A = this chain, B = another copy of it.
């Protein structure tokens, strides 16, 4: 497996586009994205678990029920959520795309992101559809335009692609993501669109995705708020020519999962690092847990703590807050066995051993915590399970961005 340039257009047979259609007032901001596969693709999706769901979620779920899709249409600037005509609008988005691109409306994955509870007008989407389809490109620019068009408060475009081999055939997999705020582990809490030219059966594609998210997207938290709209989708069009993956126990399926995981892990880190107002990527690595769930629960509690996040912003080695978060995580841990260390590119420092503080140089700690990527290392010393969670620091700018989001 090796990284290659591009995102959703890296795999054979996928084109993409992004345009400004006018949902946003800012004309320099693209707000409508399209990804298209030349041939029918196996499709797998996972969705937010919020009871309040965006209308596009309901429409997408129905459209991919048969296991196949050919296109993703997504707008930013308006979530199409808590609107009385939401389903109608999302359905119409699929119909307009289908007409223009020569597909069936049921081949479309539809998504929206932005403000909740503002009616979404179909007019700008309808007007822009011919130009959007005309703008489709198989090259890196097409993928990048689509990635741009799904961004909201994101400050960084998020895309990644890899090349890997299945049964001697070179396959490609790539993805784009948007995600910055309203992000908390509970599937999926952001938008992620992944394309691959590997041939994978719909059942195995869904299995791979559903299992992957447990340790990737479900382990990110920006602010503890689970969004209403978000999803991760994978389209696999088989144009790499490998023998269709349909055996969950095969080596090739393991290779596919590894490639998928490389994409999702990269996008996870990119989303966490670009958390609203963030200045630092936080990675909490929990080891020595009695079981996997304990490890995940502890890692998430630490990454979610506002107090830990604010301390990291201030490069303050206030490790008592890490212990405190572990203590209320709900995990059954032996507090007296916990070791905590902080690490970064500048080095590693132990701050707590067997549940009690150890002497350390505050100056050295400050130096380590002043880097852009911080590791919070928690050793529970009670077993062999481990887990990693990703988040970011809590800054003035988070409050600024969210104090007046709609205007």
Contacts and interface: CB of A to CB of B under 8 A. Distances in A.
A402 interface: yes
A8 B406 CA distance: 46
A328 B49 contact: yes
B82 A224 contact: no
A352 B318 contact: no
Contacts of A53: 327
- The complex is assembled from copies of this chain, and their number is 2
Contacts of A186: 328
B224 A335 contact: no
Interface in A294-337: 304-307, 310-311, 313-314, 316, 318-321, 323-328, 333, 335
Interface stretch (A59-67, A122-130, A254-262, A392-400): A392-400
A79 interface: yes
Given A225-B307, A396-B400, A357 B318 contact: no
Interface string A337-367: 0000000000000001001110000000000
B116 A311 contact: no
A404 interface: yes
A403 interface: yes
A84 interface: yes
A319 B117 CA distance: 8
A320 B404 contact: no
Contact of A117 (B182, B223, B323): B323
A325 B228 CA distance: 9
A246 interface: no
Contact of A323 (B82, B321, B396): B82
B323 A116 contact: yes
A118 interface: yes
A255 B64 CA distance: 61
A292 interface: no
A301 to B, nearest CB: 10
Given A307-B223, A324-B52, A399-B394, A84 B313 contact: no
B117 A305 contact: no
B50 A115 contact: no
Nearest to A326: B52
A51 interface: yes
Interface of A: 49-53, 79, 81-84, 115-119, 181-182, 184, 186, 223-228, 304-307, 310-311, 313-314, 316, 318-321, 323-328, 333, 335, 352, 355-357, 394-396, 398-407
- 4 closest Cβ contacts across the A-B interface? A116-B320, A314-B403, A52-B327, A310-B402
